[in-house]
Chains A and B, each alone.
Chain A
C-alpha cells in the first residue's frame, strides 16, 4: 500500500497546488445504529488521508459522549471543544488538537459535560465552513440515533458515508438514516465487521446482501479483527499498521476519497494476518 513517505511519485504534487480558495470536502460519517464503527472509521480514514498528504480535520459531534479523542489517543491534549469555539470561549486554532503522529491531522473534540441540544445547527454549519477553508477534508463523527445530535452533525456536511455492519438491525437503521439525509446527496457505504468465515457458513449477511437493501455506492469493506479493540485500547489507529488487513482496508478507502486510483483489496477470505488473530485462533477460544 501507499505509505506516507514512499517515492515522490507525481500524484503527490497534485495536491501541492493548495489553492486557498478551494473549499475542502465536509463528510459526515453516520449510521443510525450505534456501535457499528463510526468513530473508528472516522479516526482511521482521517489518519490514512493525512498519511496521503491531505490536510484533515476530524470533528466529534457526539456532545456528551465523545470518544474520537480516545480512539486517536489524544484525550490528554483536549483543552477546548466545539462548543467553546461556537460560544467564543476559545479560538478555533486553540481548540484544534494536532495529532501526535501526523502534522496534517487535527481533532476538534466534542464537549463532554454538555447536551446535544446546546448546539445550534447554524453554528455548526458556520464552524464546518471555516474548517473547509483550511482543510482538504473535514470528517464529522456523527452520534448514534437520529435526534438533535444527528441533525447537527449532518448540518455542516456536504457528503455522507454510511457505516453499516452485516446485521439486520444495523441495515434497518442505515436504511432509515439514508432516508433522512438530504436527497441530493449520494451517500457512500462502508460495510464494517465482515467475517468471511461466517458469511460462507451462511451465518452472516454478505456485503451483497447488505447492499441489495441499501443500494449505495460501495466505498469499502472492513474485516472484523480483534486487533481493532487492541488499537483502541492503545489509542493508535489501525490504519497505521501496515501489516493489518483492517488497516489496509481503511487506507484503500482513504485513497479512493483522495481520488487516487487503487484496487480495492478483496475482503480476506481467511483469518486476517495480524499476529493476535493467529494466536487467538490457536487458543481455540472462538
Chain B
C-alpha cells in the first residue's frame, strides 16, 4: 500500500500547523485510518508536546535516516488512538542533518505502512521547509486571516506550485464576531487573495491553548465544536463532499448591532 503524503505548511509560524497536524491526524485515526505524523521541525520539535507523548521518545527521525534504528522502533503509538503514530524530530540536531532525498525516501517508507502520512513542516522557507515538502505529494496550507500570515502563505503557494503539489487551504483562528464587525478578513477574502480552495475553516478557540498545555488533542473531546470541525475536514480529505460549516451564524443581538454600525 502507499498512503497519502500530505505536508502541513504555512510559511509563517504560530498559525497552527502543529495543532492542525495533531488534530487532523487524530480525527483521521478515529475514522479508522492508519496515520503516521512526522515532525520535521528538527531542533524545535513540538508535535510530541501537543500529543502528550514527549516522555516516550526513544529514537527520532534523524536516527532513522542515519540507519541507527529501524523505522518501527522510532514510531510512537498514541495510546488513545490505536492507529495514530508519531515519528518525532531530533531536538539536538539541526535541519541540515537530513537531505531532501533522504526525507523523500523516508516518507516513502512510512507511506508503505500507513494510509495517511501527515508531515508537520517548520516555519519559514529555509532548509527545513524544503525537506518537509520534498517528501510530500500534496499540501495542506494553514493560514490565519491576518495580513502577515496571508502574505507568507502566498509565498509558500508559489513554492508549492513550483513543485507541482496540489494545495488545499485551511483557514485557522477565524473570529466570526470580528469578521462580522468588519475587523477581520472573511474566509472568502482569504481564498480569493490566495486563489486556493478552502478545505476547512477553524474558529479561534481558547480551549486549544488549554488542550495543548495538557497534551490532549481537542478531538478527544467529542462535545467540543472543534472536534466536529476537524472530523469534517478529515472526511473532506478522504474525498467526501461535506459542505463547509458556517461558523455560528450571527445571533439576533449581534445582527442588530451590525446593522446599527
Instruction: Point out residues on A near B: beta carbons under 8 Å.
Output: 32-36, 39, 64-65, 67, 70-71, 112, 115-117, 143-149, 165-170, 172-173, 176, 195, 198, 203-205, 226, 229-230, 232-233, 276, 279-280, 282-286
Contacts and interface: CB of A to CB of B under 8 A. Distances in A.
Given A116-B126, A232-B146, A279-B257, A145 B210 contact: no
B192 interface: no
B186 interface: no
Interface string B104-139: 000000000000000000111111100000000000
Contacts of B251: 283-284
A210 to B, nearest CB: 12
B124 A169 contact: no
A279 B185 CA distance: 18
B100 interface: no
10 contacts: A33-B13, A64-B125, A65-B125, A70-B151, A116-B126, A147-B127, A169-B49, A198-B209, A276-B181, A284-B251
A169 B148 contact: no
A169 B126 contact: no
Interface in B202-250: 204, 206-207, 209-210, 212-213, 248
A65 B50 contact: no
Interface stretch (B24-32, B66-74, B76-84, B171-179): B171-179
Nearest to A36: B14
B124 A147 contact: yes
A204 B151 contact: no
A230 to B, nearest CB: 5
B13 A35 contact: yes
A64 B146 contact: no
A146 B213 contact: no
B254 interface: yes
A233 B178 CA distance: 12
Contacts of A195: 206
A280 B207 CA distance: 18
B178 A226 contact: yes
A106 B178 CA distance: 32
Given A145-B44, A176-B44, A283-B254, A34 B123 contact: yes
Given A35-B13, A168-B212, A229 B184 contact: yes
